[in-house]
Amino acid sequence: MHQAHGVGYAEYSRKLKKRMKVEEERWNDYQKSQDVVHEVDKLVHR
């Protein structure tokens, strides 16, 4: 958690603003990975 988001689990648990920021970053990372998957899928299934 700390390496990826710069927040330790204890702080993540205590502070809602930090938790929301981390979850937003995770969601954005997920969306980017899904974009990559779709692009690769298009290339593979031409």
Number of folded domains that form the chain: 1
Is 2 a residue whose pLDDT tops 90? Answer: no
> Which residue, 18, 20, 30, is CA-closest to 7?
18
Is 12 a residue whose pLDDT tops 90? Answer: yes
pLDDT at position 4:
87
pTM for the full predicted model: 0.77
15-34 residue pLDDT tens: 999 999 999 999 999 999 99
Distance between CA 19 and CA 27 in Å, rounded? Answer: 12
Share above pLDDT 90 across residues of the chain, in percent, rounded to a whole number: 80
pLDDT at position 46:
81
Question: Residue 10: which domain range?
Answer: 2-44
